[in-house]
Amino acid sequence: MVAVIRIKKIYPYSLCRIVKVGVIGFQGDVTEHMEILYKLKDERKRDIEPVLVKSRRMLSEVSALVLPGGESTTIYKLIKEYDIYWDIIRRAKNGMPVMGTCAGLILISRNAKDERIRGMDLIDITIRRNAYGRQANSFYENIKVNPIGNIIAIFIRAPIIESVGDAEIMATYDNQPIMVRNQYVLGMTFHPELSGDTRIHDYFLSMVGREGYTSSGKREWYVSDIA
Ligand code: GLN
C-alpha cells in the first residue's frame, strides 16, 4: 500500500535570498557607503550584496537603495540623464526601502526648496540646502539617535529640515530634526558613511524586506530580522 503523506509547506527565513543593496554611484561618497555595506557583510555577516547603481537595469536588481551625500544638483542631473529618477520613485512607492544621506536626503524630500531639484517626495519633509554655511563651517557632534544610541554625526554643508509632515523624527540637533523616517524611507542631514560606524546602515538593513513565502506558498516580502 502506498501511503500518501501531505507535507505542509513551511518556508523559514533561512530560505530567503541575499538582499542586494544598491548605492547610487554617480557622484559623492559612493565608495564610503559601499565600504560600510561591505563591512556589514564581511564582519557582521549580514546577508547582503552591495551593488553600485548607475543604470535602470542595475536599479531593477536591487531590493534597497542608498542615495549618498555629495552635490544634490549634480546627482539630480545625472539620475535624470541616466533615466532612473522615475524608476527610483516608482520602486520606492512600491515599498523598496531607501536611505538618503545629506544630498541624498535633499533628493528624496517632498520639497527641496531649490528650483533646480524636484524632490522625489519619498519622505514628507521640507529641506533647505547648505543651511549651516560653507564647507569651512562643517562640524561634528555627538548625537543621540532613537533607537540606535549615541553616534558621531558629521555635517558637511548640511541642509536643515525645516518642516516634517508624516514622518518620525529619530534625532535632533539644536532642536531641529536631523534624522527622519517613514515606513520604508530613512534619511539624515549628516554622513553616517564617514564615521566608520556601521550602526545606522545596519538599522537601515532592518527595514529591508526579504523575499519569502507565506504558508499558502504565496511569494511575499517580509521585513527582515537582521538588526
Ligand atoms: N550641500 C550639498 C547639497 O546641497 C549637500 C552636502 C553633502 O551631501 N555633504 O547638495
User: pLDDT by residue (tens digit) across 2-38?
Assistant: 555 554 444 444 445 688 999 999 999 999 999 999 9
SS3 191: coil
Q: Rounded distance, CA 150 to CA 85, Å?
A: 34
Q: What are the tens digits of pLDDT across the range 76-104? A: 999 999 999 999 999 999 889 999 999 99
CATH number for the domain that contains residue 55: 3.40.50.880
Q: 47 in a domain, yes or no?
A: yes
Q: 80 in a domain, yes or no?
A: yes
Atom nearest to 158 CA in ligand 1: 6
SS3 214: coil
Whether 81 is catalytic: no
Distance from Cα 16 to the centre of ligand 1, integer Å: 36
Give the chain's domain count: 1
Q: 194 in a domain, yes or no?
A: yes
Distance from Cα 13 to the centre of ligand 1, integer Å: 38
Q: Rounded distance, CA 46 to CA 13, Å?
A: 13
Whether 193 is catalytic: yes
**Residue 151: which domain range?**
16-223
Place of cell 547648505: 130
| Residue in 114, 54, 50, 134 with CA at minimum distance from that of residue 88 | 54
Distance from Cα 117 to the centre of ligand 1, integer Å: 12
- Nine cell digits for residue 57: 537595469
Ligand 1 contact via 33 beta carbon (within 6 Å): no
This prediction has a pTM of: 0.87
